[in-house]
Amino acid sequence: MNWRKNVVSQSAFRKELLERVAGGKASVRQVCEQLGVSEKTFYKWRARYKQWGELGLENQSRRPRHSPKRTDVSLQAEVLEIRRQYPDWGARKIESLLKGEPTPARSTIHDILQRHQCIAAEDSLKSRSFIRFEHPSPNDLWQIDFKGSFQMRNRQHCVPLTILDDHSRFVLLVRACSNQRSETVQEQLTEVFRTHGLPVRMTMDNGAPWGSDAQHRHTRLTSWLIRLGIQVSHSRPYHPQTQGKLERFHRTLKRELLRRQTFENLEDAQRRFDSWLAIYNTIRPHEALQMRVPASRYHSSPRQFPEQLLPVESYYRLGDHIRMVQAKGYIGYQGHRVVISKGFAGHPVALRATEQESVLAIYFCHQKVNQIDMRSLEAKE
């Protein structure tokens, strides 16, 4: 019989060991050698048996009687209260909101959450390192897109329109929209531009209302943005990581708000969006910002929204070849049809010489939107 492999009967085994010696059947050394127990352990059990009887042969708790480093009850309550207010926050974010001194270790906060079954035991607190690229200043780049639609209680669909500043992760807009039409987006953008000014550049994906297809990448909406003096760029097809910061924000929006609440209608959705966004921008610590809040790194752009657009021709230089874009998105040049984009239809574009003798760059306002190689055009004749 091996007491180490038979935990259930340990108490009975220890009693039998003591009785063998007490009955004079064998010496202490002999019994201990036969059963694989040290003499020191035998005398420890015998002393416990004399003091407490059979209870002394039970396994004793190793928990210390005093824990001077045990987490203070008030601190535990504070951690749990923050978790109650923000049920998706982990130890990293909760740590930044604790007011007591000294601040407990992040692992201590994680242990508190685990003990109170706020997070799964297998959830890891391992540090994560990423190579992040960000533009050096606020308003250098804004990312814009629609979050996937969802149905509200009134059976209508809500399509949240979102805009995020690349440098600060400050979210300038989460708007409850009923559709994805260009007119809807332009109306919302106008409001944002009047409040926060104009960014240097905006990036968006290739679907409507931002683009049409490989030949007609620009739409009426993006041509309007270019006329405002904003550089427009599209993400690479099938590469959502180009808009990675906005995609990550959409995951947070879904986890912390959309999956937790139901919405009566667009007005109700917008109230809840505004309330949650205030928390996201001004209270919720952001790991990519060294646990600072996005609002601490953002300021409005000095480039004000122009209520009247400049004429397109005012952007072009002396020596440019000016051509009007036709309804189907092409221009005529030296007997050739050159596809530009339907989004520029009815507006002039400029063909401008480049360092390559046979290549002409095509500009709409300030932005290069295409180029043509005259040699390839001649080869198609």
Whole-model pTM: value is 0.71
Q: Report if residue 131 sits inside a domain.
A: no
Residues 157 and 279 in one domain: yes
Q: Report if residue 305 sits inside a domain.
A: no
Pick the closest to residue 254 from 166, 148, 124 (CA basis): 148
Residues 293 and 319 in one domain: no
Q: What value does the mean pLDDT take over residues 321-331?
A: 94
Q: Report if residue 330 sits inside a domain.
A: yes
Residues 154 and 192 in one domain: yes
Looking up tokens 């760059």, which residue turns up? 361
What is the pLDDT at residue 335?
Answer: 87
Q: How does pLDDT run across 157-189, given as a tens digit for each residue?
A: 999 999 999 999 999 999 999 999 999 999 999
Q: Report if residue 353 sits inside a domain.
A: yes
Share of the chain above pLDDT 70, in %: 85
Q: Across all residues in the chain, what is the average pLDDT?
A: 84
Q: Report if residue 218 sits inside a domain.
A: yes
Confidence of residue 360 (pLDDT cuts 50, 70, 90): very high
More confident residue, 289 or 141: 141
Handedness of CA 332, 202, 139, 240 (dihedral sign): negative
* 244 SS3 class: helix
Kindly write down the DSSP assignment for every residue of 306-335, as one continuous string. PSSPPPGGGGPPTTPEEEEPPTTSEEEETT
Q: How does pLDDT run across 288-304, given as a tens digit for each residue?
A: 888 899 999 999 999 99
Q: Report if residue 335 sits inside a domain.
A: yes
Query: Residue 187 to residues 191, 194, 230, 266, 271: CA-CA distances in angstroms?
Result: 7, 11, 16, 16, 19
| Residues 6+ away with beta carbon under 8 Å from 279 | 86
Q: What value does the mean pLDDT take over residues 332-346?
A: 91
Confidence of residue 45 (pLDDT cuts 50, 70, 90): confident
Query: Residue 114 to residues 70, 76, 106, 126, 171: CA-CA distances in angstroms?
Result: 15, 12, 12, 15, 31
Q: pLDDT at residue 349 above 70?
A: yes
Residues 240 and 347 in one domain: no
**CATH classification of the domain holding 181:** 3.30.420.10
Q: Report if residue 304 sits inside a domain.
A: no
Residues 86 and 190 in one domain: no
Q: pLDDT at residue 275 above 90?
A: yes
Instruction: State how many domains the chain has.
Output: 4
Residues 39 and 153 in one domain: no
What is the pLDDT at residue 352?
Answer: 95
C-beta separation of 218 from 232 below 8 A: yes
More confident residue, 49 or 357: 357
What is the pLDDT at residue 242?
Answer: 64
Q: Report if residue 249 sits inside a domain.
A: yes
Residues 281 and 160 in one domain: yes
Six token digits for residue 309: 């657009």
Q: What value does the mean pLDDT take over residues 31-41?
A: 81
Residues 285 and 342 in one domain: no
Residues 146 and 117 in one domain: no
| Residues 6+ away with beta carbon under 8 Å from 166 | 134, 135, 140, 141, 142, 143, 245
Residues 224 and 343 in one domain: no
Q: What value does the mean pLDDT take over residues 95-118?
A: 74
Domain span at residue 117 reads 81-124
Residues 145 and 292 in one domain: yes
Q: How does pLDDT run across 195-249, given as a tens digit for each residue?
A: 999 999 999 988 788 887 667 789 999 999 999 999 999 886 655 556 889 999 9
What is the pLDDT at residue 214?
Answer: 66
- Which one of 263, 297, 331 terminates a domain? 297
- Which one of 268, 297, 326 terminates a domain? 297
- DSSP conformation class of 23: T
Residues 339 and 284 in one domain: no
